[in-house]
Amino acid sequence: METLSIILVALVAVEHLYILILEMFLWDKPRTQKVFGIKKEDIETTKVMAANQGLYNGFLSTGLFWGLLHPDSVMGSQIQIFFVLCVIVAALYGSFTVKKSILLVQGLPALLACTALMLV
């Protein structure tokens, strides 16, 4: 089960690193517009806000990688649990305020990772 939790936490970390890249550096690209459902005319007015959101996703990703790489496995697990719970809360909020699919795309992997961490 430990290997599964490592894989799931790493998946959530990579996903949020990918979101950081989309929101901070690729906001005006067609792929990003499609992923987030952004209209072409809204790109410039939302660019700074998106970069700010990307930074927060980067904090989540960094925290998860920190937990995975922490030399003390007990402390590392606690760090991972904290950050996957943050992702779950953010996914719940996002699903209520932005788009329902956030719960599936971000919340489900984090919930699976959290469950695997609790079972280790």
- Threshold 0.75, pTM exceeds: yes
Query: Which structural domain, as residue segments, surrounds residue 99?
Result: 2-119
Query: What's the pLDDT at 24?
Result: 97
Structural domains counted in the chain: 1
> Residue 20 phi/psi, 5° resolution?
-55, -50
**The pLDDT value given to residue 120:** 85
Instruction: Report CA-CA distances (Å) from 91 to 20, 55, 69, 88.
Output: 15, 16, 24, 5
Taking only the tens of pLDDT, the chain with its 120 residues reads 699 999 999 999 999 999 999 999 999 999 999 999 999 999 999 999 999 999 999 999 999 999 999 999 999 999 999 999 999 999 999 999 999 999 999 999 999 999 999 998
φ/ψ of 4, rounded to 5, equals -65, -45
For 34, how many CA atoms within 13 A lie in the half-sphere containing its CB? 3
Residue 11: predicted pLDDT: 98
Q: What is the pLDDT of residue 72?
A: 97
- Please name the residue that has the structure tokens 């305020």: 97
